[in-house]
Chain A
Amino acid sequence: NAGVTQTPKFQVLKTGQSMTLQCAQDMNHNSMYWYRQDPGMGLRLIYYSASEGTTDKGEVPNGYNVSRLNKREFSLRLESAAPSQTSVYFCASSVYHGASGSNEQFFGPGTRLTVL
């Protein structure tokens, strides 16, 4: 199993350009997440998808859109990149097993995005 994969690993954009970050998981997890990580601010949730066909805003959704293409894939799109979106982006997935069992999040390796 590959776990959670993200592409690309690095990206440099100019202000105003658009791009899509791709994420896929092969663990049959229901829930998927997009976070951004900035120095001194930890991980902040951008969007999440509790199950296939649903998406919800997190703490910092402005400037982003997401698509839960199917159970495996959850993409993050920047329509018009801004320097404030320079960050490391993590995708994660999880499955809730109720009162016991594993319900942790599994993370991808991250994408370092720089917007000039």
Chain B
Amino acid sequence: AQTVTQSQPEMSVQEAETVTLSCTYDTSESNYYLFWYKQPPSRQMILVIRQEAYKQQNATENRFSVNFQKAAKSFSLKISDSQLGDTAMYFCAFMKSGNQFYFGTGTSLTVIP
């Protein structure tokens, strides 16, 4: 079975600082995809960044980047220059072949002015 673990239920960061959210997963698959989703208070789920497991290069999207360690099955999200609008719940997700997704329990991030 696939599992996704987010060990930090809550985190906070000062505005303009950098924060890293952790995610580990367990799978026997060799090809898969990893995602970070953001859920602001509006409740809408928004894709932040994605990573294909076959790619060694870490994905980057503006202020968001990942540290993907395939052997360690780790997929952390780094947010640089944190902004107030980054305050949200962040979910790590795993997708295997067949299009089935698995989500972690989420990390609630608060950006402090």
Of A88, A90, A100, A104, which one neighbours B35 at CB under 8 angstroms?
A104
Of B9, B50, B54, B100, which one neighbours A40 at CB under 8 angstroms?
B9
Q: Let me know if B43 and A88 touch, CB within 8 A.
A: yes
Q: Contact size class for B?
A: 20 to 34
Q: Let me know if A103 and B100 touch, CB within 8 A.
A: no
Closest chain A CB from B47 CB (angstroms): 5
A84-116 to B contact mask, C-beta < 8 Å, 1/0: 000010101010100110011101011000000
A-B contact count (CB 8 A): 52
* Contacts from B to A (Cβ < 8 Å): 6, 9, 33, 35, 43-45, 47, 50, 52, 54, 91, 93, 95, 98-106
Q: A103-B33, A105-B45, A107-B44 are in contact. List 16 more A-B contacts (CB 8 A).
A: A30-B99, A40-B9, A40-B105, A41-B105, A42-B103, A42-B104, A42-B105, A48-B99, A48-B100, A58-B100, A92-B45, A94-B101, A96-B99, A103-B95, A109-B44, A110-B44
